[in-house]
Amino acid sequence: MQTIRKITLPLSEEDVKSLNAGDEVLLTGRMFTARDAAHKRLCKLIDAGKKLPVDLAGETIYFAGPTPGRPGRPIGAIGPTTSSRMDSYSPKLIEAGLRAMIGKGYRNMQVREALKKFFAVHFSAIGGLGALLAKSIKQAKIIAYEDLGTEAIHKLIVEDFPVIVAYDSYGNSVYPGEEPLL
């Protein structure tokens, strides 16, 4: 039986190097949400040489658009978005220091190569469990792009947020039929 690893965010390069595709992990600490529209804005800022609203160095972005929380709860349902929607943006953000991403589903070859080159990792969260995943969120605050509504960038404080390493920094994948990168 595989041991579930507990890791504190933000991740160090050593943390990332210790992770292998298929590892089950509970994340505790700080992460951010961002989806397509926020990714596009972040990449435009990078291209223009401007400061980002959040320093990405060592950080984790969860591809999610949370619903508002009920009274007494920091957030509502917060299920993962399909990761491939961020494929055109992720390599640039990884190069800018992003250490990890959380979503669901496959990533393209450019993302996998960036993960390997810059020592980053992609986690998968289970889709359809947004209400259950919200129980791991202890604090949530919009920190950028409030005009995007649910796609605004939120800063989250999480405790024991469950994920699986889908793509590690060695080029390995949990998905059947995907060859390891050499």
Question: Tell me: the pLDDT tens digits for 26-35?
Answer: 999 999 999 9
Highest mean pLDDT out of 87-96, 128-137, 171-180? 87-96
pLDDT of 89 over the 90 cut: yes
pLDDT score recorded for residue 69: 86
Mean of pLDDT values over 40-64? 97
**Residue 52's domain is classified under what CATH number?**
3.20.130.10
The whole-angstrom separation of Cα 91 and Cα 12 is 18
Catalytic residues: 39
The whole-angstrom separation of Cα 68 and Cα 137 is 12
**What's 79's DSSP letter?**
P
Amino acid symbol at 89: Y
Considering its fold, how many domains does the chain have in total?
Answer: 1
pLDDT score recorded for residue 177: 77
| C-alpha dist (Å) from residue 124 to 104, 108, 162, 163, 180 | 5, 14, 9, 6, 17
The whole-angstrom separation of Cα 123 and Cα 100 is 7
Mind listing the pLDDT tens digit for each residue in 101-152? 999 999 999 999 999 999 999 999 988 788 889 999 999 999 999 999 999 9
Q: Does residue 117 fall inside a structural domain?
A: yes
Domain of 103, in residue numbers: 5-167
Read off the pTM: 0.94
Q: Does residue 178 fall inside a structural domain?
A: no
Q: Does residue 33 fall inside a structural domain?
A: yes
Mean pLDDT (the chain, rounded): 94
Q: Taking a C-beta distance cutoff of 8 angstroms, is the pair 28, 159 a contact?
A: yes
